[in-house]
Amino acid sequence: MKANIHPDYHEITVRLTNGESFKTFSTYGKEGDTLQLDVDTNTHPAWTGGGAFVNENVGKVAKFNNKFGSIGTKKKN
């Protein structure tokens, strides 16, 4: 393996939006730096159940089903 090609892997502090923090290892910054999160499990709608909404009627599969979904079904007169 080549020498000196890997980034420095060191301990940093991660600070959540509510002020809590924890230590982890990362290549972010330098030893002892603090990573302040703007979005985390305390604020993101995926975890808080907030106003996020999933629209399942978009995408290629939905377009296909809208266009060809009725093939093979009999129409009632």
Q: How many Cα atoms within 13 Å fall on the side-chain side of residue 20?
A: 5
Q: Is the confidence at residue 30, as pLDDT, over 70?
A: yes
Tell me, what amino acid is at 45?
P
* Contact between residue 31 and residue 11 where contact means Cβ atoms under 8 Å apart: yes
pLDDT at 12: 97
pLDDT in tens, 57-70: 678 887 888 888 87
- Distance separating alpha carbons of residues 15 and 40, to the nearest angstrom: 10
Strand locations in 8-72, DSSP E?
Answer: 10-15, 21-26, 34-36
Query: Domain residue spans in the chain?
Result: 10-68
